[in-house]
Amino acid sequence: MAAVRAAAGDTYVQPSVLPGFGLTFGFTTFFLSAIVLIPLAALVSKAGSMHWEEFIHTVLSARALASYRLSFGASMVAATINLVFGFILAWTLVRYDFPGRKLIDALIDLPFALPTAVSGIALTTVFAQNGWLGQYLALAGIKVAYTWIGVTIALTLIGMPFLVRTVQPALAEVQRELEDAAEILGAGRFYVFRRIILPTVLPAMLTGFALAFARGVGEYGSVIFIAGNLPFKTEITPYLIVIRLEEYDYHGAAALGCVLLSISFLGLWAINYLQHWGRRRSMATGR
Amino acid sequence: MSITLDQITKRYQGAPVVNDVSIDIGDGEFFVLLGPSGSGKSTLLRAIAGLTGVDHGRISLHGRDVTHISARDRGVGLVFQNYALFRHMTVADNIEFALRVRRMRARQRRERRKELLRLVALEGMDDRLPSQLSGGQQQRVAVARALAHKPEVLLLDEPFGALDAKIREELRRTIREVQRELGITTILVTHDQEEAFALADRIGIMNLGRLLELGRPEDLYARPATRFVATFLGAANLVLAQHTARGICIGADPVMALGGSTASGNRDHEVVAVLRPEDIEIAPSREVLHASFLGLGTVEQQLFVGANERLRVRLNNPGDAGQVVTSADGDATDALLEVTRTQHDRRNYPVAAGQTVTLGVRRLHVLATPLSSFTACATSEAQALAISEEPLLVQLATRMKTRVSTRIEPALQQIANAVAPDSPGAECAPFAGVAVINTDPGAVHTVRWLLQLGAEAVLLLPPHTPSPARVLIHWVDEPARRATLAVAASLLRHVSAQAVYVGILPNDDEAGRPDGMRALLDARSEAQAVHGLEIRTELGFGDVAAELTRRLAESPDQLLILGVADISVLTQRFATLLSRTANPLLVVWQPGDSPQPR
């Protein structure tokens, strides 16, 4: 890298098949600014124009705090569920060839394509107290619709493709021979899984987890139908923001948005750092 | 015996990938399984390791039957072609993997690790990650890892495949040293004959799932039994020659007084001779030739390859016998003799392309195969051509590296109508090799006539027959056994089919059974002892022709090899079978004590 930089007269330009570093870099900057950075800045500046006490009052109100807990808690639980079941799904799709595998593979992407409101309505139909599954769960004393469980189920559905799609390619790269080698050396199946397969796909799993979590925090459409949106109980933060907007309280909405943004960013950064640290550690022991 | 394989068969989607392979490997032996890709050698190795189950047969390691024991409990070490190192673990962790699994104490693990790293000359590399090592170093780690738990058997699956020539040589030496030092029984799988020569105590050569030959490298090179081994192990020219009373003739004159003995007794017959490129001498004239005279030839091509010079020479007027069927590079279409000379010889007698030279043979090896070449035989040219293009025949000829010629024989028409005399007249040219005809109602007479004309065997080919998955073997009279087995052994080395000897008893009674079983065992052990061929055995009852017809009718992808000693038996008992069957049929006749028509 250093050599290339020196040769190119200490710029960042590297030889490439696509010409025009200036053009592409300019476009990247512009695109990112116009689509991501400027709207976010506007959000922050809107919130920033509030009085400090007013901001604190809005952001730390009991209703807001309850909504954070639900939003982040349910997202975390949903992403964790996906971590386990998404892995199993990906494993099945990568390792086994069975009739209908292609179909199931295509079904995985459906939550991406479906308008989220549709999935919300569908889930409500199934899990409402008189729904297909809901009536039996109700007999067992489990209420899904209009509780935090419903929220979690909706977020699990939405986050599932993120995990499967990130873990799938990583699993496909685990060579069968590595498992064969471990088996010949005397390792049992669980040992092989724990010491050989898991370490190899863990980075991909963490990435998938982070993506599913982030998606869960921002999810709105599918949740509001099944959640019931009772303040303090089943009200997610995005819904609270919409309520503020409907009350023409733009500042309040912006303030809540800022909180959502910061926590999500911190969470994503933490996971990224964890991955980076893991990689560094394995490299460091190598030296 | 360290490793005993007994009739191992592994099928994939019905087709045998490993076909009845039996090998005994001694303690501390370095055994090399050599074969082209797809020959089943890697599958066999995986079966020994326990990574693949077998469909038939038994595997024993040091006297312990491990056929149904998992890979984890077999106590073998395996080195993969692409190393298969655990990339997220250090060299130390990789090597200690097997010891950790066995819950060995840290201190003992460390000691064992140091010992192994010294053995593969990688001291001090403990804390590296595989990605920080070169390919050769990674493979050394893989060897150390495979040896960590002190396995009784070391298996190496093309371990040098991904390395460049210099590293390969170095690693080869290391592996040989490690193997000697530990005295560990080792099997190495490779497609590289040079590697096999460099390492092996014994070599087993596989093709089409079958173990073709097995022996010491120098023996296999000097006296191969099959065309495949002759051309796969080193370079070889395969030449069709005449075995006559005077010796082996390639041109008009005999080049060798003694040939290999074959099944056909004293008759002149066609044989396949192996001429190594280095065993052919080139001289300006016959007078200065040291070796026995082969013929005149024209130099067509000249190449330098380091220490040797390679020439391709066309034989002038080779005649029918003396045809080069395959030159050393396996190219059968434009068959030229391949000759190599040392630089010393080249300086003494330099030649140029286009020059006519005198060729001599220093050494010649005659293959023990009765199936030298094929002749498609019919009454019209179109028909003969159609037979010669039958997929099964084309496949056989390609694999046997031999030729298919056509012969138009008007006499066949009369024979089919059963008006011809019982034995062929003197005006008919004798036959050589295998005659191939279409199945038709009068086939039995044609077969008889062709056999009497000197054909080694007659192949009856119904149109569009598939490649056989099973080959049934049966001989009617005991004197025909030797010839039938020789033909079967030769054919079976070129088809990927299961071989079954069918013994048939007149009726199912208790008294006859022991005799029947003895006949089966005799057949199997003779096939094994004389031809190195593994066959299955089955017992049937009733009329021979009816029983064989019944078995053939079960599936069209079965080929029958039928041996007879008394040729009249053919017309009397097998006329219906020969004329009606939808299966390919190979008829072998060994004139026993019965008077010969010639």
* Low-confidence winner among B22-36, B51-65, B576-590 (lowest mean pLDDT): B576-590
Name the DSSP class of B213. E
Residues in B whose CB is inside 8 Å of some CB of A read 49-51, 70-74, 76-78, 80, 82, 84, 86-88, 90, 97-98, 101-102, 127-129, 131-132, 145-146, 148-149
Q: Strand pairing partners for B315?
A: B297
Chain A residue numbers with beta carbons less than 8 Å from the beta carbon of B113 are none
What's the mean per-residue pLDDT of chain A? 84
With the CA atoms of B174, B178, B181 and B184 taken in that order, what torsion angle do they form, in degrees rounded to the nearest 10?
A: -140
Cβ neighbours, 10 Å, residue B309: 20
Is A185–B70 a contact, with Cβ atoms under 8 angstroms apart? Answer: no
Best mean pLDDT range from A47-61, B108-122, B153-167, B424-438: B108-122
Cβ atoms of B136 and B170 within 8 Å: the answer is yes
How many whole angstroms separate alpha carbon B279 and alpha carbon B254? Answer: 16
Work out the percent of chain A whose per-residue pLDDT is above 90. 20
Is B88–A282 a contact, with Cβ atoms under 8 angstroms apart? Answer: yes
Q: How far is CA B282 from CA B222, B276, B385, B536, in A?
A: 21, 13, 38, 48
Among B239, B260, B263, B265, which Cα is nearest to B251's? B239
Is B87–A200 a contact, with Cβ atoms under 8 angstroms apart? Answer: yes
Mean pLDDT computed over B241-248: 79
Mean pLDDT computed over B439-445: 81
Cβ neighbours, 10 Å, residue A12: 9
pLDDT of residue B333: 46
Q: Using DSSP, how many helices (H) and how many strands (E) does chain A show?
A: 16, 0
B65 pLDDT more than 90: yes
CA distance A170 to chain B (A): 14
CA distance A100 to chain B (A): 21
Lookup result for tokens 């079966």: B47
Chain B residue numbers with beta carbons less than 8 Å from the beta carbon of A175 are 82, 84
Mean pLDDT computed over A99-113: 88
Among B8, B26, B28, which Cα is nearest to B18's? B8
The answer to whether residue A177 neighbours chain B at the CB level (below 8 Å) is: yes
Chain A residue numbers with beta carbons less than 8 Å from the beta carbon of B76 are 184
A114-121 contacts at long range (C-beta below 8 A, 24 or more positions apart): A115/A221, A116/A158, A116/A219, A116/A220, A116/A221, A116/A222, A117/A221, A117/A222, A117/A225, A119/A154, A119/A157, A119/A158, A119/A221, A119/A222, A120/A154, A120/A221, A120/A222, A120/A223, A120/A224, A120/A225, A120/A226, A121/A225
- Encode pLDDT of A237-260 as tens digits: 898 999 888 998 888 888 998 888
Phi and psi, residue B271, nearest 5°: -130, 165
Among A163, A1, A140, which Cα is nearest to A81's? A163
Q: What is the chain A residue with the closest CA to B148?
A: A185
User: Residue B514 corresponds to which tokens in the numbers above?
Assistant: 């022991």
Lookup result for tokens 């593979």: A105
B511 pLDDT more than 80: no
pLDDT of residue B521: 87
- Encode pLDDT of B8-45 as tens digits: 999 988 788 998 899 999 999 999 999 998 899 999 99
How many whole angstroms separate alpha carbon B531 and alpha carbon B588? Answer: 17
pLDDT of residue A13: 60
Mean pLDDT computed over A216-242: 86
Q: Interior CA angle at B542 toward B536 and B543, to 5°?
A: 100
pLDDT of residue A16: 65
Length of chain A in terms of residues written? 287
Higher pLDDT, A265 or B265: A265
Which value does ipTM take for this structure?
Answer: 0.76
Q: How far is CA B381 from CA B179, B336, B413, B461, in A?
A: 61, 28, 13, 17
What Rg do the C-alpha atoms of chain B give, in angstroms?
27
Q: Which fold has domain A59-284?
A: MetI-like fold (1.10.3720)
Chain B residue numbers with beta carbons less than 8 Å from the beta carbon of A199 are 88
User: Residue B53 corresponds to which tokens in the numbers above?
Assistant: 């189950």
* Low-confidence winner among B301-305, B358-362, B444-448 (lowest mean pLDDT): B301-305
The answer to whether residue A175 neighbours chain B at the CB level (below 8 Å) is: yes
- Encode pLDDT of A30-58 as tens digits: 888 888 888 888 888 888 888 888 888 88
Domain locations in chain A? 59-284
CA distance B379 to chain A (A): 53
Length of chain B in terms of residues written? 598
CA distance A54 to chain B (A): 52
Q: How many CA atoms lie within 13 A of A226 on its CB side?
A: 34
User: Residue B157 corresponds to which tokens in the numbers above?
Assistant: 């699956």
User: Cα–chain-centroid distance for residue B333?
Assistant: 21
How many whole angstroms separate alpha carbon A214 and alpha carbon B593? Answer: 92
User: Cα–chain-centroid distance for residue B418?
Assistant: 40
Is A186–B101 a contact, with Cβ atoms under 8 angstroms apart? Answer: yes
* Low-confidence winner among A93-97, B510-514, B593-597 (lowest mean pLDDT): B593-597
pLDDT of residue B318: 61
Q: Give the DSSP per-residue string, B367-404.
A: ---S---EEEEESSHHHHHHHHT-HHHHHHHHHTT--E
Q: Which of A178, A183, A185, A281 to mutate to test the interface with B (most CBs of B within 10 A)?
A: A185
Name the DSSP class of B291. S
* Nearby residues of B153 by Cβ (< 8 Å), 6 or more positions away: B2, B3, B48, B61, B75, B76, B77, B184, B185, B186, B187
User: Cα–chain-centroid distance for residue B308?
Assistant: 29
Name the DSSP class of A10. S
A142-177 burial by CB neighbour count: b if 16+ within 10 A, else e? Answer: eebbbbbbbbbbbbbbbbbbbbbbbbbebbeebeeb
Q: Which of B76, B81, B97 to mutate to test the interface with A (most CBs of A within 10 A)?
A: B97
Is B149–A188 a contact, with Cβ atoms under 8 angstroms apart? Answer: no
How many whole angstroms separate alpha carbon B592 and alpha carbon B130? Answer: 68
Is B51–A183 a contact, with Cβ atoms under 8 angstroms apart? Answer: yes
Cβ atoms of B584 and B460 within 8 Å: the answer is yes
Phi and psi, residue B53, nearest 5°: -80, 165
pTM of the model as a whole: 0.80
Best mean pLDDT range from A77-86, B294-303, B471-480: A77-86
Q: Give the DSSP per-residue string, A172-215.
A: HTS-HHHHHHHHHTT--HHHHIIIIIHHHHHHHHHHHHHHHHHH
How many whole angstroms separate alpha carbon B561 and alpha carbon B551? Answer: 13
Option in A177, A200, A282 nearest B84 (CB)? A177
CA distance B480 to chain A (A): 49
Cβ atoms of B376 and B388 within 8 Å: the answer is yes
A247-264 burial by CB neighbour count: b if 16+ within 10 A, else e? Answer: eeeebbbbbbbbbbbeeb
pLDDT of residue B592: 64
pLDDT of residue A9: 47
CA distance A86 to chain B (A): 23
Q: Are strands B470-475 and B558-564 parallel, antiparallel or unpaired?
A: parallel
pLDDT of residue B326: 64
Is A180–B80 a contact, with Cβ atoms under 8 angstroms apart? Answer: yes
* E strand or H helix that includes residue A168: helix A148-172
Phi and psi, residue A283, nearest 5°: -70, -40
Lookup result for tokens 């050396």: A185
How many beta-carbon pairs below 8 A join chains A and B? Answer: 71
The answer to whether residue A283 neighbours chain B at the CB level (below 8 Å) is: yes
How many whole angstroms separate alpha carbon B474 and alpha carbon B548? Answer: 9
Q: What is the chain A residue with the closest CA to B97?
A: A185
The answer to whether residue A188 neighbours chain B at the CB level (below 8 Å) is: yes
* Nearby residues of A18 by Cβ (< 8 Å), 6 or more positions away: A24
Phi and psi, residue B58, nearest 5°: -130, 145
CA distance A185 to chain B (A): 5
pLDDT of residue B29: 95
User: Residue A203 corresponds to which tokens in the numbers above?
Assistant: 């980075």
Option in A178, A188, A287 nearest B86 (CB)? A178
B516-524 contacts at long range (C-beta below 8 A, 24 or more positions apart): B523/B473, B523/B481, B523/B485
The answer to whether residue A45 neighbours chain B at the CB level (below 8 Å) is: no
Q: How far is CA B295 from CA B17, B84, B355, B576, in A?
A: 43, 55, 14, 48
Work out the percent of chain B whose per-residue pLDDT is above 70. 91
User: Residue A104 corresponds to which tokens in the numbers above?
Assistant: 């199931």
Is B84–A175 a contact, with Cβ atoms under 8 angstroms apart? Answer: yes
* Nearby residues of A96 by Cβ (< 8 Å), 6 or more positions away: none
Residue B426, classed as helix, strand or coil, is coil
B317-352 burial by CB neighbour count: b if 16+ within 10 A, else e? Answer: ebeebbbbbbbbeeebeebbbbbbbeeeebeeeebe
* Nearby residues of B259 by Cβ (< 8 Å), 6 or more positions away: B243, B247, B248, B271, B366
Option in A177, A200, A285 nearest B82 (CB)? A177
Cβ neighbours, 10 Å, residue B296: 17
- Encode pLDDT of B165-215 as tens digits: 888 888 999 999 999 999 999 999 999 988 999 999 999 999 989 999 999
B479 pLDDT more than 80: yes
Mean pLDDT computed over B366-394: 87
